[in-house]
Structures are given as C-alpha cells and as structure tokens.
A and B are shown apart, each in its own frame.
Chain A
Amino acid sequence: MKILSIFAIFLCLCAPLEVKAGESDDKFHKPHIPNHYTATEIITQIDKFNGKEVVLRGEAAVEPLERGDFVWLNVFDGSISIGVWMKKELITPIKFYSGYKTRGDIIEVVGTAYRADPDTNGELDIKATSLKVIEQGGKIPEYFPAWKIILAILLLGITGLYVSRWISESKKSRKKAKENFELGTIFNEDIE
C-alpha cells in the first residue's frame, strides 16, 4: 500500500495542467494597438504618460469602490491592475466584473494619467472622462478534468484504508492495555 500511496502522490505532483493564467495573459498581452495601453504599459512608462491623456484597455476588476458621487474602478490587464477614478455614472454600462466565476467586461477608458496624483494623496492613477465597454464578459464555467476526479477517488480510497487500519489498531491497543491493566490488578490482588 505504501508503494501505491507514493505513486499516487507522485502522480498528483506530475499531473497535467491547464493554466488559466496563460490564457488570460494572451488575451491582454497581444500586440500593441496604437493609442491603446494596458495597465502594465502605463505603470512602467508613467514618466512618459504623466499628466497626459491616455486610452486604457483592460478588464473591469472585482467591484467598484464607491466614494460619494465618484468610484474607484481597478482595471486589470492580466498581470496587474491600475486604479481609475471616475464619476459614478460612467460605470453604468459595465455588467460583469472579474472574479473566480466571472470574466469582467473589457472596457476602454479615456483619462489623464498621473504619477503622483495630488487629489488622491500621491497615487499613480488615471482620472477618467469617458468609458465604453468593448467586449462583454460573462460566466466562467467550472472545469473538472477526469484525471483530477480519478486521482481524488484513488487518494480518498487509500486514505480511507489507512484511517480504518489506524482505528482498528488503536482499538486493539486500547483493548490490550485494558487487559494488561486488569491482569495487573488480579496479580496484585493475588499477591495481597
């Protein structure tokens, strides 16, 4: 059983992978379209963009954070997000935000980039003037590969065998200890 267990763990470590991250990277890190920038491009070249109007494209991330009549919306490019400060009404066309089960809408934001925005206590951000949805997001179905289910059943079976053996051994040793204790009591009584 030990060999089987080691094999199962080894199998688990060598299991084939479907890297969702890779897919996501491909989606956003495609060849640069003139005048459209990703969050990474704006952050890494902020000296070039500081105080200038930029067009940011990316996925609407997680959920907007409301601050009175304004909101903070984080826009994700597959590796990092950038904060965009805008009026609340601008986010109304957005239907989906990124999450484990959802792919957020791909949006295009026009605004001014700041290296250290004085209005937001020196944050590197974008102040948006307009927003439009380029591509609507949607639900991401959960994926259950067959090998993963088989592996889980196999491992669960082996664990069950070990646990049942451990329980029966524990019972036996408790019984033995009890018998020894009783024998010891009888022996002591005999001596007395």
Chain B
Amino acid sequence: MIRKIDINDFYLVIHNIGQIITVLGLTMFIPLTVALVYAEYSVALDFLIGICCCVIFGFITKRKNKDLPAPTMFHGMLIAGVSWLFACVFSAIPYYLSGHYLSFLDAVFDLMSGFTTTGLVLIQDMEHLSNGLNMWRHLVTYLGGQGIVVLALSILIKSTGGAYKTMVGEGKDEVLEPSIRKTTQNIWIISVVSLVLGTTILFVIGRIEGLSFGRSFLHGMWMFMSAWSTGGFAPHSQNILFYHSYMYEYANALIMIIGSFNFALHYAVWKGNQKELFKNIELKSFIFTSSSFVLLMTIGFALTKTYSTIHELFRRGVFNIISAHTTTGQMTIYPTQFANWPQLAFSAACIAMMIGGSAASTAGGFKNIRVGIVLKGIGHEIKKLLAPEKAIVTTKYHHIREHLLEQNLVYQAALIILAYIVIYGLGTILGMMCGFPLGTAAFESISAGSNTGLTAGITGASMPIVLKVSYIVFMWAGRLEFMAIYVLIGTMWLMFGKPKKRRKLM
C-alpha cells in the first residue's frame, strides 16, 4: 500500500528544511568574521547577503509546530534529501558573488562537492582567493562531513521532530547514545577536539616548512578540515603539493585515515574500548583492501620504473592510493599525471575509490562494512554448501559488538553496492559520450559517485554542462547512500507521475 501525500507533509518537510537552512546561514558568521579580521570587506558583504537569504528563507517556510503532523521515516528521508539541495543553492550565494565562478551552476557544483566531501572544484583563479572564502570552502567540507542535518539537529533538537529518522536519511544511522541529542553532540565533540589537535600539529609543521605564522594557522585548520572530513579541498591550485613537504603529506595521510573511520569506532575508542581496534570488521576490511591496492600500485610502478626510491613511491603513490581509498581526494601529483599512471596502479586507485571508507563516517564509496558483509555472505554460502544438509550454519561479524550475519543484511549491502556501480557506469558512459577516453571517464565518474575528488583532468569549468549536472547528482546520491533519493523520486512520482493516483496538494 502506498501512502497518501497531503499539504501537511509538504509543510512539515519545508518547515524543517527552512530550519536547517537558517542554521547553515548562521554558520556563515564564521567566514564573515574571518573576512572582517583580514579587512576583506567586499567578501564580508557577500556573506552578509548569504546570511540574510538563509534567514529570510527560514522565516518564509516557518510553520507553527502544533499545525504539523508527527514526522515519519518518509519525512526524515525527504528532509535529508531535499535539504542538501537547498543547502547547496543557498550556500553558493557567497561563492557566486565572489566572482570566482563562471556561472551559478559552477558555484552549486563546488558547494555540492564540498558538502558531500568530494573535493572536485570548478573554482577559478585560486591563488587570489580571500581568506573569508577559503574559510567557507573548508568549513562547508567540515560541516558536510559531520552531516548538515546532524549540525541542525544538535542545535534545533527541540523543534525538529523525527530527529533519528532525518539522521538516517543522511546516512548516519549509528546511534552512539540512547538520545539523539547526545549522539549528535558526541559526533561534534569528537570532531572539534580532533580539529584542535590536528590544527596544532599542522600549524607546527607549517612553521617548520616555511609558512608565515598566520598562514600556518589558517592552512593548518583548513587542511585538517579537508583531510578529517575526507573532503580534499585545499586553499591553493596545487592542492597539498603546494607545501612541497613530506611531513605535511604524512600528517594529512594519517588524519584522512582516522577521519574515514566510523563515528561509532571513534566513540568506542574515545570511551576507552581500544580492543575494538583489533576486532572491528571495517578496520580489518580497510587494512586488507588498502594493503592489496598498495601492492598492486607498487607492482605497477615497479614494472614501469616510474619512481626509483621508497620515499618517492610513498609520497607519489601510496599517498594517492590512501587518498583514493579514504575518498579524500588530496593529491601529490597533477591531475594529468593520473592519466599517465601505469594501468595496474590506475586500476588500483579506481577500485580503492569505489570501495571507499567506513559507513557512518565522512567517507564515501560502497563502504568497508558492506564489502566485509558481502564477503562474509559469500563465505557463509560456501560454508553452507560444504556442511551436511541438516547442519545449521551461522556466521558472525564484529562491529562494536557481535552481530549474526542475516541474509537480509547481505541483500541490503549488495543492493547498495549495485546502486553505486550503476552510477559509476552511467557516469562513465556520459563521459565517453562527451568525448573522453574510457579510463579517464571511468576514473572521474567513480571519483564523483564515491565522493573522492581525485581528478584525471576532466573536471574543470570548461567541462560540458551535462557532466556538471550529472556529477552533482552522483555526488548527492552517493553521499546520501541512495535511500533518501529513492524516497524523493517516489514522492515526485506520487505527485506528478500517475495522473489517476496523483494525490493533490490540498
């Protein structure tokens, strides 16, 4: 039976989206302050306009709580899905007004890339960016990594009903504490404490490597935000290559690995459960897959004799494989160099991006836990075939606690993996239709769909509009892990699809 949609559903969804956009608008006070501190008054004006637009939208869409129905999982999915689109449009206002974009679509592209922690960019003239705008670029990635709905929930918990349902819609279904408020707060505590520690470390390295005091601090904070949220943005056009520093690269590699882990794992370790590090299925899966990709890449480079020392291999090869696997997208080589990687290393990077990091983390891709579950599922089927007919075969996996492997879980994991493969394939075909070679088209499509942000040279302001729009959709779908998108498509179908069954609004 299909549910009915009426005007109250619409009001509930738009009311919550308005609240989320208001909170997002208020966060623009941070880059506004940075702009004022550095006397970038034109930039401050852009942010003022952005804040006003967000707050006005919040007021326009505001409804009295008593008039609204109780939120269900359907509403939660819809709020999560649509709020990301609205967030991109409203947050793009200061981007667009800055004059660093050739069109509003380009600004929305970069916003979607930031919020989904992808890291692909269409921005122009990066070496003349203001500190205010750079602050907003990296803050967007940081907020997107924790989840913009999580941000709103931690502030608006009393007025936003169906908190858990909305959070699930955003792909954050790990509940660290019985209360959602406590869960969202814990996610933020972990992130903010890490931000302080990480910024300090990168600040010190920045000073050692010749950056000025102020720049060391700001760059330290931005690069931490970029690595921790597995975003991949950087304040300059060369990405992390700008610093020409192995210390900076190794520190960032470590931050991106930790950032790609499940929040539940962070929380378990935070609470003193260090044993979890040795038992967790996601972590085991990550170690296994990343070692395999590094091995493949090493063989690839050894055959072509591209790099002659271990240090070169680590800085130019392993770093980029880790960046691909954690779906961060920071690069120690130029985009066109990726296209010239040996086939074996190139394939390893593609598969690493496809799989991605952990579920309920800032990372994208299939997620390690799903790969682990499907592999366990295959093992379970083999065990069943080998066991006597009447034997009951059970398989367990460890993620925070012991779980029994159920067929439904394997089915769900396989279904989501399939959905990712579909968008990777679709993006590859579209890229080829636009005239790009198969390898590069596949690389870019996987990078967008898995929210990685590595580029082999396709992504740029001059790329065809069809690719810009499709990558925006892929980044959005990949980040929300499809469920919210399915609900949104279903709702559209109910509203506009079948005239006979259409539920009128009002």
Residues of A at under 8 Å CB distance from B?
A: 2, 5-6, 8-9, 12-13, 15, 17-22, 24-25, 43-44, 46-47, 59, 61-67, 71-72, 74, 76, 78-83, 98-101, 103-104, 116, 118, 120-124, 140, 142-144, 148-149, 151-152, 155-156, 158-159, 162-163, 166
Chain B facing A: main interface SS: helix
Q: How many A-B residue pairs have CB under 8 A?
A: 180
Question: Is B124 touching A19 in the complex (CB atoms < 8 A)?
Answer: yes
Question: Is B60 touching A2 in the complex (CB atoms < 8 A)?
Answer: yes
Residues of B at under 8 Å CB distance from A?
A: 38, 40-43, 45-46, 48-49, 51-53, 55-57, 59-60, 89, 93, 96-97, 99-102, 104, 123-125, 127-131, 209-212, 215, 236-238, 241-246, 306-309, 311-313, 315-316, 332-334, 336-337, 340
In the bound assembly, the distance between CA atoms of A76 and B97 in angstroms comes to 23
A-B contact pairs, 10 of them (CB 8 A): A19-B124, A24-B128, A44-B336, A63-B212, A65-B243, A98-B128, A99-B128, A100-B129, A121-B315, A122-B306
In the bound assembly, the distance between CA atoms of A143 and B244 in angstroms comes to 34
Question: Is A9 touching B124 in the complex (CB atoms < 8 A)?
Answer: no
Chain A facing B: main interface SS: mixed
The chain A residue sitting closest to B244, CB to CB, is A72
The chain A residue sitting closest to B238, CB to CB, is A81
Residues in chain B near residue A66, CB distance under 8 A: 210
Query: Which 4 A-B pairs have CB atoms at the shortest separation, nearest pair first?
Result: A21-B124, A122-B312, A155-B52, A65-B210
Inter-chain pairs besides A65-B244, A121-B246, A155-B49, 14 sampled, C-beta below 8 Å: A5-B56, A21-B123, A43-B334, A64-B210, A65-B211, A81-B127, A101-B40, A118-B312, A122-B315, A142-B42, A148-B49, A152-B45, A152-B48, A158-B52
In the bound assembly, the distance between CA atoms of A64 and B244 in angstroms comes to 11
Residues in chain A near residue B312, CB distance under 8 A: 116, 118, 121-122
Residues in chain B near residue A43, CB distance under 8 A: 334, 336-337
Residues in chain A near residue B57, CB distance under 8 A: 5, 9
Question: Is B337 touching A124 in the complex (CB atoms < 8 A)?
Answer: yes
The chain A residue sitting closest to B55, CB to CB, is A159
Question: Is B241 touching A123 in the complex (CB atoms < 8 A)?
Answer: yes
In the bound assembly, the distance between CA atoms of A162 and B52 in angstroms comes to 11
Question: Is A116 touching B307 in the complex (CB atoms < 8 A)?
Answer: yes
The contact of A62 among B96, B100, B236, by CB within 8 Å, is B236
